[in-house]
Amino acid sequence: MKFKVIIFGLVLGLILIGISYTLWPVLVKTKQLTDFKLTQHQGSAFTLAHLKGKWSFIFFGYTHCPDICPVTLTLLREVKQKLAPYPKYLADTQYIFISVDGQRDTPEKLAEYVNYFDPQFIGASGTEPQINVLTRQLGIVYIRQPEVTTGQYFIDHSATIVLINPQGEIAAQFRAPHTVATIVERYTKIRQPEPVKESS
Amino acid sequence: MYNKLTIFFWLVSYFCLSSWLYAETTPPRSGTHLVQIEDGWVRAVPPQLTLTAAYMQLKNLTDQKLTLVGASTLIFTKVEMHQTVFEDNMARMVPVEKLVIAPQEIVMFKPKGLHFMLIDRQQPLTVGDTVTLTLQFEENKTQTIKLEVKEDNGKDSDHSH
Ligand SMILES: [Cu+2]
């Protein structure tokens, strides 16, 4: 009897190892993004090509968001300031605010909004289908709420900050609530050994 | 003479006693000191944005519970109380209809938490301006407070735990 239990345990263990072995690469492998087309605050197109060659912190929100969006953009500005001792990181890191409210957030409005936080921040948005091409790849969700007054509505949205590497792959996801220290620490740790491109 | 003095005495006593009784029996009057506000501020936002949020530390100075039901200001058409919540990593704002504040209790309105939403700005606001907000409590009690428009320095959001 005892023997059977041991055999059963061993077989079960082998099966579990097998499953995790096959799933491991899928779970750990950074996810390569496919192309999307948005409009950036200066009016030109904003596509996957704009993420390549740089590290990008992306946060989704909308300008009529009174609490969490300004808080997060202020935090990203601080992250940028905290990276000052690493000029190398500072130079190839970009910060992108993507509005899930293309209806109200025209490029001009986005320009004023992102500039208010940092003149180097990039704002981008588009139509709902255009936005969804990107949000679905990143697991970002947003739900528009009924109007409070005419034309005035709020949008529930994911508070995740996504980090994209220069290859256009998801490198990290920072879940809310965020702190400047944790983001800087994780980011510099990710950057420390420059990711070696696998030749597989 | 004696009569006049007596009348005077009674009159004085009457006034003293009545004002004392009045003070003892009347509930705290509106417009005065129901609550104490500390670190009150309105978030400065880009000029074209017509809404923002207000934050403060609010202490109930009375020895009875106060129920905050809303606020109003001449600068915005609408003021709502909201609570920012994180559910499944989604940031949501849940309207707060009533807020019961126990005697001497301190309630924090702060970024990423409870806040006053100021909707539909009616006139320009810049850093350093003052927003006069009238807090409305149950039983028609009100108190008017002044809040300064300030930039978010990020400090509030970092030691929020
Ligand atoms: Cu709100």
pLDDT tens per residue across span B24-57: 444 444 446 899 999 999 999 998 899 999 999 9
Torsion of CA A179, A185, A186, A191, to 10 degrees: 140
Q: What tokens does A17 get?
A: 């190892």
Mean per-residue pLDDT for B5-22?
52
Q: Give contacts of B84 with chain A, Cβ < 8 Å.
A: 67-68
Q: CA-CA distance, B89 to A162, in Å (whole number)?
A: 13
pLDDT reported for residue A192: 83
Q: What tokens does B127 get?
A: 């850093």
pLDDT, tens digit, 9 for 90 and up, residues A7-39: 777 777 666 666 555 554 444 456 899 999 999
Q: What is the largest CA-CA distance in chain A?
A: 76
Which residues, in sequence order, are bridge partners of residue A37? A47
Q: CA-CA distance, A17 to B56, in Å (whole number)?
A: 54
The DSSP 8-state label assigned to residue B64 in this structure reads: S
Task: Specify the pTM.
Answer: 0.77
Question: Which of A2-6, A27-31, A39-43 has the least mean pLDDT?
Answer: A27-31
Q: What tokens does A25 get?
A: 């690469």
pLDDT reported for residue A64: 92
Q: Tell me, what CATH number does A43's domain have? A: 3.40.30.10
Among A59, A67, A116, the residue to mutate for chain B (most B Cβ within 10 A)? A67
Between residues A39 and B15, the one the model is more confident about? A39
Q: Give contacts of A148 with chain B, Cβ < 8 Å.
A: 78, 80, 119
pLDDT reported for residue B5: 55
Place of tokens 């959001």: B157
Ligand 1 centroid–CA A187 distance in Å is 30
Q: Do A70 and B91 touch (CB under 8 A)?
A: no
- Domain membership flag for residue A33: yes
Q: Do A148 and B80 touch (CB under 8 A)?
A: yes
Q: If residue B38 lies in a helix (H) or strand (E), which one and from where to where? A: strand B35-43
Give the Cβ contact number of residue A180 at 10 Å.
19
Please, are residues A35 and A48 in contact by the beta-carbon 8 Å criterion?
Answer: yes
Q: CA-CA distance, B115 to B53, in Å (whole number)?
A: 6
- Domain membership flag for residue A199: no
Q: Do A67 and B93 touch (CB under 8 A)?
A: yes
Please, are residues B124 and B44 in contact by the beta-carbon 8 Å criterion?
Answer: no
Please, are residues A47 and A35 in contact by the beta-carbon 8 Å criterion?
Answer: yes
Q: CA-CA distance, B99 to B137, in Å (whole number)?
A: 9
pLDDT, tens digit, 9 for 90 and up, residues A137-176: 999 999 999 988 888 899 999 999 999 999 999 999 999 8
pLDDT reported for residue A22: 52
Please, are residues B87 and B75 in contact by the beta-carbon 8 Å criterion?
Answer: no
Half-sphere exposure of A166 (CA within 13 A, CB side): 12
pLDDT exceeds 80 at position B139:
yes
Within 110-129 of B, beta carbons closer than 8 Å to A belong to 111-112, 115, 117-120
Which residues, in sequence order, are bridge partners of residue B47? none
Question: In the β-sheet with A45-47, what is the strand arrangement from edge to edge?
Answer: A45-47, A37-40, A122-125, A93-99, A55-61, A161-164, A170-174
- Domain membership flag for residue A196: no
pLDDT reported for residue B27: 46
Q: CA-CA distance, A168 to A32, in Å (whole number)?
A: 6
Cα dihedral sign, A187-A192-A193-A196: positive
Burial status of residue A147 (CB atoms within 10 A of its CB: 0-12, 13-18, 19 or more): exposed
- Domain membership flag for residue A141: yes
Domains defined along chain B, listed by start? 35-150 (2.60.40.1890)
pLDDT exceeds 60 at position B21:
no
pLDDT, tens digit, 9 for 90 and up, residues A45-77: 999 999 999 999 999 999 998 889 999 999 999
pLDDT, tens digit, 9 for 90 and up, residues B56-68: 999 999 999 999 9
Please, are residues B132 and B99 in contact by the beta-carbon 8 Å criterion?
Answer: no
Please, are residues B108 and B102 in contact by the beta-carbon 8 Å criterion?
Answer: no
Q: How many folded domains does chain A comprise?
A: 1
Q: CA-CA distance, A190 to A30, in Å (whole number)?
A: 13
- Domain membership flag for residue A1: no
Mean per-residue pLDDT for A177-190?
93
- Domain membership flag for residue A200: no
Q: Which domain holds residue A135?
A: 26-191
Mean per-residue pLDDT for A77-100?
93
pLDDT reported for residue B23: 44
Q: Measure in Å the smallest separation between the Cα of B91 and chain A Cα atoms.
A: 6
- Domain membership flag for residue A197: no
The answer to whether ipTM exceeds 0.90 is no
Q: CA-CA distance, B71 to B134, in Å (whole number)?
A: 5
**Backbone region of residue B21 per phi and psi (left: phi > 0; alpha: psi in -120 to 50; beta: other values):** alpha
Q: What tokens does B47 get?
A: 């000029």
The two beta strands, A161-164 and A55-61, are antiparallel
pLDDT reported for residue B17: 46
Binned at pLDDT 50, 70 and 90, residue A83 comes out as very high
Q: If residue A18 lies in a helix (H) or strand (E), which one and from where to where? A: helix A2-28
Instruction: Return mean pLDDT, chain B.
Output: 83
Between residues A6 and A82, the one the model is more confident about? A82
pLDDT reported for residue A35: 96
- Domain membership flag for residue A107: yes
